C-alpha cells in the first residue's frame, strides 16, 4: 500500500501563530505538495465548478491546517466520555465509512494546531468529573495515525495523558505507522486499538489501507510496548462464507499475538447507514 501523501496543503493564516502551524508550513513546503497560505476565513483556492466525484476525491487528498474552536467537546458514547478533537477527516477511502454523514461532500483532512489549548480544555472536563476517571476518544472524527508523521499530535497527547491521574486516552486506526509511538512513557493511560475486517471486506470496501497481517503485526508491536491494546471488528458484513472468514480473523489475531494476549479488548460492530451517507457513497463510489 502506498503511503498517504497530500496533493494540496492549505494553511489558515492564524495557524501560523502556533508552533505546530509554523512547523507544518515548513515541512509541507519542503515536500512535493502544493502549499497555499490563505486568510483565516478565506475560501479555498479551488475550482468549484467540477463534477462531484472529482471534487470529493480532491478533498480526500487535501490537508487543511487550522485552529480548532474551543467550543464544547462532543460526547462519545459508548466508546468514551468525550471526543478529543485533534484531527478531522481521513485519507482512506473506506466506502461504508460513518464519516460520510459528518463530512458530506467535502471530506477535507484537518489538522488542528492549537493542541496546548485543546488539552487545557480536556483538563477542565477531567476536573469537572473528578474523582471519576474521564476517557477521551481521539478517533471519533478521523483516523489520526496516517497524519502523525507530520502532526505529532498523538505523541503529544499520549505524553499529556501519562501525567493525568484521572484522564485516559484511546484511539483506533487501520494504519500501521506505529514506530514513533512505541517508546513513549504512556504509563498505561492510553489504549491503542486497531480496526479489522474479513478478507472479502478489506479487498472490496477498504482500498488504500494496510492488509490484515500488516495491521496485526503493528498491533503486536503496540502490545509489546505495553499499551492497552484492542480490536474493533467493524463493520460486520454478511455474505457467502462470512462466518468462516470472520473466524479466520480471530485465528489470525490469536496466531499473531499468542504470547501477549492478556488484556486485549474486543468490540464487534454493526453499521446503520444514514440516508445522507447513502447519497454520498453512491455518488463518490458509483460501482460500490
CA atoms within 13 A on the CB side of 177: 17
* pLDDT, position 136: 98
Q: Which grid cell is 80?
A: 468514551
Distance of CA 140 to the CA centre of its chain: 7
* pLDDT, position 9: 97
Q: 52-60 and 275-284 are packed helices; what angle lies between their axes, rounded to 10 degrees? A: 100
Q: What residues have CB less than 8 Å from 54, skipping those under 6 apart?
A: none
* pLDDT, position 34: 94
* pLDDT, position 90: 94
Domains of the chain in sequence order: 8-284 (3.80.30.30)
CA distance 220 to 261: 9
Q: Which grid cell is 135?
A: 476517557
Return per-residue pLDDT of the chain as tens, 288 residues: 557 899 999 999 999 999 999 999 999 999 888 999 999 998 898 888 889 899 999 999 999 999 999 888 999 988 899 999 999 999 999 999 888 877 778 899 999 999 999 999 999 999 999 999 999 999 999 999 999 999 999 999 999 999 999 999 999 999 999 999 999 999 999 999 999 999 999 999 998 899 999 999 999 999 999 999 999 999 999 999 999 999 999 999 999 986 665 678 999 998 888 888 889 999 999 988
Model-wide pTM > 0.85: yes
Strand, coil or helix: 107 = coil
State the maximum Cα–Cα separation within the chain, in Å, rounded to a whole number.
55
Helix (H) or strand (E) holding 279: helix 275-284
| Residue 281 to residues 62, 104, 288, Cα–Cα distance (Å) | 19, 9, 8
Helix (H) or strand (E) holding 34: strand 34-38
Q: Which grid cell is 223?
A: 502490545
* pLDDT, position 191: 97
Amino acid at each position: 500500500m502506498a503511503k498517504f501523501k497530500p496533493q494540496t496543503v492549505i494553511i489558515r493564516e492564524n495557524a501560523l501563530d502556533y508552533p505546530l502551524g509554523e512547523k507544518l508550513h515548513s515541512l509541507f513546503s519542503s515536500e512535493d505538495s502544493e502549499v497555499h497560505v490563505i486568510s483565516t476565513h478565506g475560501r479555498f483556492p479551488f475550482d468549484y465548478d467540477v463534477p462531484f466525484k472529482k471534487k470529493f476525491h480532491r478533498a480526500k487528498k487535501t490537508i487543511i491546517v487550522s485552529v480548532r474552536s474551543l467550543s464544547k467537546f462532543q460526547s462519545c458514547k459508548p466508546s468514551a466520555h468525550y471526543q478529543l478533537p485533534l484531527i478531522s477527516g481521513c485519507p482512506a477511502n473506506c466506502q461504508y465509512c460513518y464519516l460520510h454523514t459528518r463530512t458530506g461532500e467535502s471530506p477535507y483532512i484537518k489538522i488542528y494546531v492549537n493542541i496546548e489549548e485543546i488539552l487545557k480544555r480536556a483538563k477542565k472536563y477531567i476536573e469537572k468529573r473528578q474523582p471519576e476517571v474521564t476517557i477521551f476518544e481521539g478517533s471519533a472524527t478521523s483516523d489520526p495515525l496516517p497524519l502523525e508523521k507530520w502532526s505529532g499530535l498523538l505523541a503529544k497527547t499520549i505524553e499529556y495523558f501519562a501525567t493525568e491521574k484521572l484522564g485516559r486516552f484511546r484511539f483506533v486506526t487501520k494504519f500501521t505507522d506505529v514506530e514513533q509511538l512505541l517508546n513513549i512513557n504512556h504509563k498505561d493511560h492510553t489504549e491503542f486499538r486497531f480496526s479489522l475486517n474479513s478478507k472479502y471486506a478489506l479487498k472490496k470496501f477498504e482500498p488504500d489501507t494496510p492488509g490484515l497481517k500488516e495491521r496485526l503485526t503493528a498491533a503486536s508491536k503496540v502490545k509489546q510496548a505495553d499499551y492497552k491494546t484492542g480490536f474493533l471488528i467493524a463493520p460486520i458484513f454478511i455474505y457467502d462464507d462470512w462466518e468462516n472468514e470472520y473466524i479466520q480473523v480471530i485465528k489470525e489475531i490469536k496466531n499473531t499475538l499468542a504470547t501477549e494476549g492478556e488484556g486485549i479488548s474486543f468490540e464487534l460492530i454493526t453499521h446503520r447507514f444514514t440516508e445522507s451517507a447513502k447519497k454520498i457513497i453512491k455518488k463518490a463510489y458509483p460501482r460500490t
